[in-house]
Copies of this chain bind each other. A is one copy, B any other.
């Protein structure tokens, strides 16, 4: 899998908040139910996002999580880095350590281009863009059925 489940859930949750938050704190239970994922497991992913100042949170009644910044100021790349680290953008496709321009594996040159393309796409895509695609493009964050 390219993204871990934690990252996947965290990203989908962040988009949900961007689309349905409206400035309020959104309870994690509401997000978990909307996405059809485990509440407790989602909680852990969102804690990572809060620790990285991507989300803010509030306990108690009317509590929940909210975007720490405007949705257009949070890129997909940031969310991925917060949860999964930079392996996706840095690691050798063959799993070799220190594979770089100096000591490359035979696929390094081509894979480097793929990684750069992934990073570019994730950098230029922000949560507002994704939220808008859900609203006007009819795209979905959840499994069918």
A-side residues, CB < 8 A to B, are 1-3, 5, 8, 11-12, 15, 76, 87-88, 91, 93-98, 103-108, 110-111, 113-114, 117-118, 121, 125, 129-130, 133-134, 137, 139-144
Contacts and interface: CB of A to CB of B under 8 A. Distances in A.
Nearest to A76: B107
Contacts of A129: 106
A139 B105 contact: yes
A20 to B, nearest CB: 14
B139 A96 contact: no
A140 B2 contact: no
Given A2-B93, A12-B94, A93-B2, A134 B106 contact: yes
B143 A1 contact: no
B133 A96 contact: no
B134 A96 contact: no
A103 B3 contact: no
Contacts of A144: 97-98, 103
| Most chain B CB inside 10 Å of its own CB: which residue of A88, A93, A141, A143 | A93
